Chain A
Amino acid sequence: AQSVSQHNHHVILSEAASLELGCNYSYGGTVNLFWYVQYPGQHLQLLLKYFSGDPLVKGIKGFEAEFIKSKFSFNLRKPSVQWSDTAEYFCAVKGGLDGYNKLIFGAGTRLAVHP
């Protein structure tokens, strides 16, 4: 069965610090990978996604993620965080090529950025 592990459940950073959130998945075939973000009081929204091609994916708000197939990883990065990045971040995987878009999510990482 597919699964997603997010190693950091809570991360606290100061503004301008660099961010890296870990995500590992288990699925041996073709995968699509995603990071979703949930800002306080808001709905979940897509941050970035990987389908194929360049393993370094750039998303909104200066976030990027790197797909490393050999490590089954898709870590999220941002060089310099802002207070407004305070949110919960979810990694998700879709295995296979069906069109149902059934995503498996990780447990989430709560990020708190202090001014």
Chain B
Amino acid sequence: DVKVTQSSRYLVKRTGEKVFLECVQDMDHENMFWYRQDPGLGLRLIYFSYDVKMKEKGDIPEGYSVSREKKERFSLILESASTNQTSMYLCASSLRGAAGELFFGEGSRLTVL
């Protein structure tokens, strides 16, 4: 089974802090994604990566950055957390050309005070 692991299930941070969310997948997938999930808004794509050191902005990249130094690891960075970034963050991965079959992690719930 594909496993996508998000290192932190719950985080509480203060406004202005730098936040790192880590995601690791074990199936050699080329594509990796960060979404945020908010009630009534569904999942919105923040960033995705289709190869090591490659990244593309999604629909809501403002206030976020990402890093992909190794194929299996994709990190989401909040340089200066704000209260409107309180959310559930979902990491996903897929094979290139797998036509939409994403494998998701269990999510990281971030609260910014």
Bin chain A's interface residue count. 20 to 34
* A25 at interface by CB-CB < 8 Å: no
Question: Residues on B close to A: CB < 8 A?
Answer: 4, 31, 33, 35, 40-45, 48, 50, 56, 58-59, 90, 92, 94, 96-102, 104-107
Q: A43-B106, A44-B90, A102-B45 are in contact. Are A9 and B40 (CB under 8 A)?
A: yes
Contacts of A105 in B (CB 8 A): 35, 42-44
Q: Contact: B42 with A106, CB < 8 Å?
A: yes
Contacts of B4 in A (CB 8 A): 43
Question: Residues on A close to B: CB < 8 A?
Answer: 4, 6, 9, 32, 34, 36, 42-46, 49, 51, 90, 92, 94, 99-108
A-B contact count (CB 8 A): 70
Compute how far the CA of A56 lies from the CA of B42 in the bound complex, rounded to whole angstroms: 25
Q: Contact: B40 with A103, CB < 8 Å?
A: no
Compute how far the CA of A4 lies from the CA of B90 in the bound complex, rounded to whole angstroms: 19
Q: A101-B94, A105-B43, A108-B42 are in contact. Are A32 and B104 (CB under 8 A)?
A: no
Q: A106-B42, A107-B40, A107-B42 are in contact. Are A101 and B99 (CB under 8 A)?
A: yes
